[in-house]
Each structure stands twice: as structure tokens, then as C-alpha cells.
Amino acid sequence: SKKSVAPTPALTAEQFKTSVVKHLRTTLGTYEEKASKQAWNKALAAAINEFVFEGVSRTRKTHANVGARAVHYLSLEFLMGRLMSNNLQNLGLYSVAEEALKSLGLEIADVLEEEPDMALGNGGLGRLAACFIDSMATLSIPAVGYGIHYEHGLFRQEFHKGRQVERPDQWREFGNPWEICRPESAQVIKLYGYVETVYEQGKLSKVWHPGRTIRAIPWDIPVVGYGGQNVNVLRLWESRADKFFDWDVFNSGGYVDAYSESVEAETISKVLYPNDETDAGKELRLIQQYFFSAASIADVMRRYKAANGEDLANFAKLNAMQLNDTHPAIAIPELMRVLVDEENFAWDEAWAMTRETFSYTNHTLLPEALEKWSLKLIEKVLPRHMEIILEINSRFLTQEVETMWPGNNDIKRKLSIVEEGAEQMIRMGNLSVIGSHTVNGVAQIHSDLVKKDLFPEFDALWPNKFVNVTNGITPRRWMKACNPRLSALIEQHIDTDWPRYLEKLTGLKPLADDQAFQDSFMAVKHENKVDFVKEIKTLTGVDVSADAIFDVQIKRLHEYKRQHLNLLHIMALYRRVLIDPNYDMHPRVFIFGAKAAPGYKIAKEIIFAINKVAEKINNDRRINDKIKVVFLPNYRVSLAEKLIPAADVSEQISLAGKEASGTGNMKLALNGAITIGTMDGANIEIAEEAGSDNVVIFGMEVDDVVALKNKGYHPADYYRSNEELKAVLDWLEGDFFTPGEPGLLAEVKRNLVESDPFMVLPDFESYCEAHQKIDALYRDKKAWAKAAILNTASLAKFNSDRSIQDYAQNIWHVKGVEAKS
Ligand code: 26Q
């Protein structure tokens, strides 16, 4: 007998239909015969919100009454994607809604398609924040996600003649049914100006006279936990002019000029910065970081005081704040400023409270990605914070560092928050480590490297500060909602509460060898592929076969992620088939999805190269459809949800030591794709869990990379000594892929042969061999099915609920508090 704790619907399909129709008429102002898909979508949202908004109030009351320690997850990014199917799923209303819409003559899938993605993030870090707030809600942890209510999320990507073109994202163009504006909780944020030193009753204090002020308006997005009982919120701040406009200017005829200040204030939350990994150093970005950090801290203070009165003695006991990378690190001096300047705490006491409050997650080791701000810029925008940062630094260096390493100036120089040089820079990583009680990496190997390579002296100073929390993904979105066929199949064999208790997937292990189960599992994969074949046709015009191997690389375009290694292998395969038309291989479709940061030149060249090679191969009759290459435009969460269930092979081919964790690797493996990957990030733990027979590992490991670097790496040596590698690189030079326009792809070759910063060439041979293994394994249908099933059955560790339990126990010291209806 199978246990079911899947959420039970609160109403029948008939009742739900009545509610949707009522909203269509009374909320949307239209009627059944006339309504557009979009109107139906909004009516459906309104019907769902009757449950969602009730849950927000219920959960708030519960958490306020209990007075438990709460988590505040500060992140510049929340890559939420669509909310409707997730909300239906978590409320247990999906089938009810499906049936209700059917009776109205509508396919639920079509109605869901009307919802734009909430793309308020770049990639991994932003999507992690979204998975984490889903898990915090599911585990009933009192938690608020704090971020920015960007008017425009990540750009929409188009290809024009193979090149990426960025278009503005307009996710709120027609309103957003899920958000609630809370003007009563607005905050005023100060910027610029100067600091005055005041002596009063023998006491020295600082007064910040801001040059201007901005209003921060919160928008709350409910986050429904699985089962629907607990509903947390994501609170996103929008910037507005403080005084809406200048009435004098307005009255003296300057109707338009009066708006100019408001326009400037409103640029703060206008647009998400589209660079991941690299920092632009722009003033507006710094202001974004401060704007939302300060508003969030003021909000936490306001709530604390409303519940506990003016005495802040318990502030740090009741509030944990997690910094999602260094982006909100300015919150550390901001809390100090509030405690010292506004609440009159002595420095030491304020500092103890601050450290007890903050913890910091590091997501990268790439030196170019470590955030630094010019001291001059911070001084201009946030003069008081600059003083506080320098005070934090001077106390740290003269007390803590001096005690540990007396007289050692080399170490002081390394650990200082201020980097000396032509221009003094503020190292946000050092500030974050110094101001936090705990620092975590996002996969075991990454956390080890954070200690060993990034912050070794900090680790020596504070041996217990550094910990690991391996990333995770929510199985509600990344299995139950996106892969209904696989979910239904596994529910024939295990309890239906697996989305809450993912360990139950291990119950599938005994079936890995079972012929009937293998057949059903692969039949599901095939049906998902058939669905996706249509998607590929619509998006790219390319015809592909569902019988081919679907080989998928989906992630931001980055040199360290090595999409160009994948490209070189595709070209090698193509060349083999041209040389030998009988070259024996199972047909393959190589599928890419990736956005490049708009200013990242070589990344855009790689996109162009893949598109050009794709065009040539897809139209070359000689290869008899053995190879197809498709680059899907505008890769995003909602496209990932369609593609991942159809993937056979998961490309995780970063240079060892560079990918902090990866989370797409987890999504693909959970849905039964076989990983081809390096020993990097979470790939290592995936191999550990799934078994090394069920992943294909290749390439240099971290130690090999270090050894080769030390020995001196010369890409030209590899270019010259591998005939196939040389041939495909040379191929990029002529006009074979760009007929009549020679040299358009030459930059990609030059980059690899002359510098190759991420060591693509040394891993080429091993990568090609790994692909031979994939090909052989796929042709052994039983062996493939078994490996795929064992991946699905073994991935429970990568449930973001487990990640959040780790944070809750080891970092935040919080417990779940179940909301009662
Ligand atoms: C910084 C300053 C200015 C402008 C932009 C940025 C910026 C924005 C986004 C810097 C970095 C990011 C995003 C980083 C990111 O997504 N990192 C990924 O985080 C995942 C979750 O932990 C990991 O799985 C990936 O390995 C890591 O690359």
C-alpha cells in the first residue's frame, strides 16, 4: 500500500470552474465567448490567488505569534520563471484546474503558456535563490526573500544571422497577478551627501546628511510551500522619487522638467545587470546593491520593533541574514550604521550583533569575478559606509590579524578589505568573510577550494567559519511539474509523497534491471522527446528525429563552461562522417541554450560559430541526418522545463576547479540524462551518488590543471600534435562555414590556439573518447536504460530541501514552524 500525502484539493473541479468564470467576468471584465487566452490566464490566477493570499496571512500570523528566529535571504537575483503551474502543483489544485479548464474548452498547457517568465536573474545563482525560497516555504521556515523589483529582467535573446541580439524583457507589460504592493511598508533610502561629526555630552557621533533620498516600495510575491499550508513571501523593492516631483517647477510651467528627478530615482530598479561572473564596477549597480540592502534591513528592524518593542537586545538572536554572494555585502556596514548611529550602540556590541546576524555564500573562485569597488566611488555614494568599512578594517587588522600574526605586513596586505594600488579598491569578499559568522561554498570541492585557495589565511584565523552546503534543486518544479509522465510512472512504484521526501526515489533502484520498467522509463523519455521535436521545429525550423540521442548543453555562455569544446567535438564528428560516409555512430542532436553577457565579445563569437557550424551541418545531405545541431534562442526557465525531460545526455564540461557547483547538472540527471562531465563542482558528488558506471567522466582534474599551469601551458603544442584537433581548428579559418565571407570564425580559433585560458585543447582528446563511450552505451539499450534509471533513483541528495536543512541546522539555527489553518 502506498502512502499519499500529496496535497488534497480544497474544492472540486466544478467549484473551481465556477470561480474561474466568476473572475473572468468580475476581475477581468470579459466573458467566456470573448475571452483571450491571456484573459483566461489572469482569471485562473485570480482563482488560485484566493488560496494563495489567504495562506500569506495565515503564515504571517503564525510566525508573528511564535516569535521564532527568521531567515532573510538577500539576493540581487531571483530567477523565478513562471509561477502558475508551480502554485497549482503545490496547492494540490493542478488536476482540478486541468479538469475545470477542459470543461471550458481549454487546454491547461495553452493557458499556462500565456504567463511570461519572471526572469529576475542571470543564471545559477538566481535560480538557486528561487529553489531555496520554494524549499524554505515547504519546510515552513519563517523566511523572507529580499531583492529588487526590476522593471526589466534578463534580456530576451534573438539571433540575427547567427549573432545574438538583446531585446528588453517586458515581463510586467500586462501586469503581474501574483504580486501585492505594500505602500504602507515603504522605506526612505539615503544616498550621497556628507558626514558631520558631532560632540554632544562628551560623546562623539556621526550624522549623515544625504545629498538625496529615494523611496523604496515593496512588492510581495507569495511563495507557496508544497502542500499549500505555508506561504512565505518574496519581497522585492521598487525605487521611486522621494518627493514625487517639484511643484514649483511644475507650477511655473515646467510640467516635463518636474518629472526628471523621478525618472532618475526610478532608474535604480529599472533593469537587471546582465553580466554574471564579471563585475562592471558601475555606480548604478552599487546603488542597486545598497538600495535594496538598506530597505531590507530597515524592514527587518521595523518588524522586530513591532513584535518586540524598542529594545534590540534580541535582534541578532531572532534574525539571520544570508548574503547570496557579495552582491548585498554592503548590508554589513549598513547594519553597523543603523546600530551605532541610529540606535546608539557601542561599536563592539554592534559588531558582535552584526557578525551574529550575517552569513555569506560564495559562488565563484574566478579571480575576475570577485567583486571590488573603488574606494572613491563608495565614499561618494555612501560616505558614512566608507568610514564604517575603514573602521571595521582597522580594528580587524590591528586586533585580530595582529594577534595571530604579529608584525606580519604581508598577511595584513592580503587580508585587508582595502586593496592598495593605483586606485584603492574595496574587496567585498574580504568584507563579507570578516562580517559573517559562517561562509559556505556550494559543492564539496568548491568549499575545499574556498578554504585552500581563496581564503587560506582567513581559514587559519577562524577554522570553523568555512563550511560546505552543496546546492540543490526543487523536485517540485524540476520533476513533478516539468515531467508529469515520469512522475506518473514512478508513482506506480513508490509513495506519492516523493516530492517532499525525495529519498523515496531509491525505491526505484531494484527496478533498474527490470525489463518492463526499463521499457516504460525509456518510453516516457521518447514521448518527451517527441514533444520537444515540435518545439525545436517551431523555434529553429530544424527537423530532428526523436530517435537520435538528445545531447544537451544549457547554461550561460562562458569560456570556463567550454561550449567551444563541445563545438570542436561536433566539428570532429562531422569531419569523420565527411571522410567516411559509413562512419558508425548513433544519430545525435546537439542542443544548446545559452545567453552571453552583452559585452562579452568572445562569448558572442562562440554563439555565432555554433550557429554557423549548425547551419552548415543541418543542410549537408552527405551526413544523412547523423548529426544535427540546434541553438535554441532565448534559453530561460520555462524552456528548460520543456527541454530537460527530453534530454539523454547532460554536458557538464567546465575546466576542473572553475564551476563552483552547477545546478543544471542536477536537473538533467534527476530526469534521467547521463552526464558527460569533468571532475568539477557538483559533478563529483553526482558521480558519487549515481555510481561512477552511470556517468561518463573525462579530462583533467584540479591537480592536473594546477600541474599543467605550473609547468607552463602552451596551447599551440596541442594544436600541432593532434591531427584532428588541428584540422577542426583550421576549419574555422576559411569560409567553409561562412561561404563567401572567410575569417568570420577566426577569432575563436585564435583565442584557442594563442591563449586558451580555460584549457580546452588539453581536454579535447579525452572528451572525444568520452563521447565514444556515450555512443556505445546508448546502443546497448538495456545498459543505457539502467544507467538512466539509476541516475533518477540516486539523486535525492540534490533536493534543495536538503540544502535548506543544512543551512537551517548548521548556519541559521532555525526550525520550521507549521502554519495552522
Ligand atoms: C556582479 C557584479 C556586477 C554585475 C553582475 C555581477 C554578477 C551577477 C551574477 C556576478 C555573478 C553572478 C552570478 C553568478 C552565478 O550564477 N554563479 C553560479 O552560481 C551557481 C549557484 O551556486 C553555481 O551552481 C554555479 O557553479 C555558479 O557559476
User: 261 CA to middle of ligand 1, Å?
Assistant: 32
Residue type, 658: K
User: 681 CA to middle of ligand 1, Å?
Assistant: 14
pLDDT band at 250 (very low <50, low <70, confident <90, very high): low
Judge whether residue 135 has pLDDT over 80.
yes
Nearest residue (CA) to ligand 1, atom 17: 125
State how far the Cα of 291 lies from the Cα of 705, in Å rounded to an integer.
41
3-class DSSP assignment, residue 25: helix
Q: Where in the chain is the domain with CATH 3.40.50.2000?
A: 69-81+119-436, 505-698+762-795
Task: Identify whether 556 is a catalytic site residue.
Answer: yes
Active-site choice (451, 667, 749, 802): 667
Classify domain 505-698+762-795 at the CATH class level.
alpha beta
Region 743-756: mean pLDDT is: 98
Position 4 scores a pLDDT of 53
Side-chain-facing half-sphere of 261: CA atoms under 13 Å: 17
The helix, strand and coil proportions of the chain, stated in percent and rounded to the nearest 5, come to 50, 15, 35
**Residue-wise pLDDT tens digits, 779-813:** 999 999 999 999 999 999 999 999 999 999 999 99
For 582, other C-beta atoms within 10 Å of its C-beta total 6
Active-site choice (215, 363, 385, 658): 363
**Residue-wise pLDDT tens digits, 720-733:** 999 999 999 999 99
pLDDT band at 249 (very low <50, low <70, confident <90, very high): low
CB–CB of 378/426 below 8 Å?
yes
Q: Which residue has the higher pLDDT, 2 or 76?
A: 76
User: 545 CA to middle of ligand 1, Å?
Assistant: 35
CB–CB of 78/120 below 8 Å?
yes
Region 127-145: mean pLDDT is: 98
Region 112-140: mean pLDDT is: 98
Percent of the chain with pLDDT over 90: 92
DSSP assigned state of 47: H
State how far the Cα of 395 lies from the Cα of 416, in Å rounded to an integer.
11
Which ligand 1 atom sits closest to the C-alpha of 123? 16
State how far the Cα of 429 lies from the Cα of 453, in Å rounded to an integer.
13
CB–CB of 669/686 below 8 Å?
yes
Region 579-601: mean pLDDT is: 97
Judge whether residue 702 has pLDDT over 80.
yes
For 441, other C-beta atoms within 10 Å of its C-beta total 27
Position 3 scores a pLDDT of 54
* Pocket of ligand 1 from Cβ distances under 6 Å: 122-125, 128, 273, 275-277, 279-280, 285, 363-364, 371, 442, 471, 659-663, 681
User: 716 CA to middle of ligand 1, Å?
Assistant: 31
Judge whether residue 1 has pLDDT over 50.
no
Q: CB-based burial of residue 754 (10 Å sphere; 0-12 exposed, 13-18 middle, 19+ buried)?
A: exposed
State how far the Cα of 673 lies from the Cα of 218, in Å rounded to an integer.
40
Task: Identify whether 138 is a catalytic site residue.
Answer: no
State how far the Cα of 60 lies from the Cα of 264, in Å rounded to an integer.
35
User: 451 CA to middle of ligand 1, Å?
Assistant: 19
At residue 208, φ and ψ (nearest 5 deg) are -95, 120
DSSP assigned state of 509: G
**Residue-wise pLDDT tens digits, 609-620:** 999 999 999 999
Position 643 scores a pLDDT of 99
On whether the 69-81+119-436 domain is CATH 2.60.40.420, my answer is no
Judge whether residue 709 has pLDDT over 90.
yes
Which ligand 1 atom sits closest to the C-alpha of 121? 9
User: 77 CA to middle of ligand 1, Å?
Assistant: 9
Position 551 scores a pLDDT of 99
Region 495-499: mean pLDDT is: 97
Judge whether residue 820 has pLDDT over 80.
no
Q: Which residue has the higher pLDDT, 2 or 225?
A: 225
Region 385-403: mean pLDDT is: 98
Nearest residue (CA) to ligand 1, atom 12: 276
Q: How far is CA 506 from the centre of its chain?
A: 27
Task: Identify whether 537 is a catalytic site residue.
Answer: no
State how far the Cα of 804 lies from the Cα of 796, in Å rounded to an integer.
13
Position 821 scores a pLDDT of 64
Nearest residue (CA) to ligand 1, atom 8: 276
Percent of the chain with pLDDT over 70: 97
Task: Identify whether 726 is a catalytic site residue.
Answer: no
Nearest residue (CA) to ligand 1, atom 9: 276
User: 190 CA to middle of ligand 1, Å?
Assistant: 28
What is the best residue among 364, 374, 445, 686 to mutate for testing ligand 1's pocket, by most ligand atoms within 8 Å of CB? 364
User: 744 CA to middle of ligand 1, Å?
Assistant: 30
Task: Identify whether 480 is a catalytic site residue.
Answer: no
Position 118 scores a pLDDT of 98
User: HEC profile for 439-500?
Assistant: EEECCHHHHHHHHHHHCHHHHHHCCCCEEECCCCECHHHHHHHCCHHHHHHHHCCCCCCCCC
Region 193-198: mean pLDDT is: 96
Active-site choice (63, 152, 561, 569): 561
Q: If you write DSSP's letter for every residue of 762-786 in order, what string do you get?
A: HHHHHHHHHHHHHHHHHHSHHHHHH
Judge whether residue 459 has pLDDT over 60.
yes
Which ligand 1 atom sits closest to the C-alpha of 471? 22
Position 799 scores a pLDDT of 98
- Give the cell for residue 308: 518586540
**Residue-wise pLDDT tens digits, 672-693:** 999 999 999 999 999 999 999 9
Judge whether residue 2 has pLDDT over 80.
no
Kindly provide the ipTM of the predicted complex, given to two decimals: 0.99
Mean pLDDT, the chain, integer = 96
**Residue-wise pLDDT tens digits, 4-37:** 555 677 799 999 999 999 999 999 999 999 999 9
Pairing of strands 549-554, 466-468: unpaired
Judge whether residue 259 has pLDDT over 80.
no
Task: Identify whether 663 is a catalytic site residue.
Answer: yes
Q: If you write DSSP's letter for every residue of 356-421 in order, what string do you get?
A: HHEEEE-----GGGS-EEEHHHHHHH-HHHHHHHHHHHHHIIIIIIHHHSTT-HHHHHHH-SEEPS
Which ligand 1 atom sits closest to the C-alpha of 660? 26
What is the best residue among 75, 271, 276 to mutate for testing ligand 1's pocket, by most ligand atoms within 8 Å of CB? 276
What is the best residue among 73, 74, 122 to mutate for testing ligand 1's pocket, by most ligand atoms within 8 Å of CB? 122
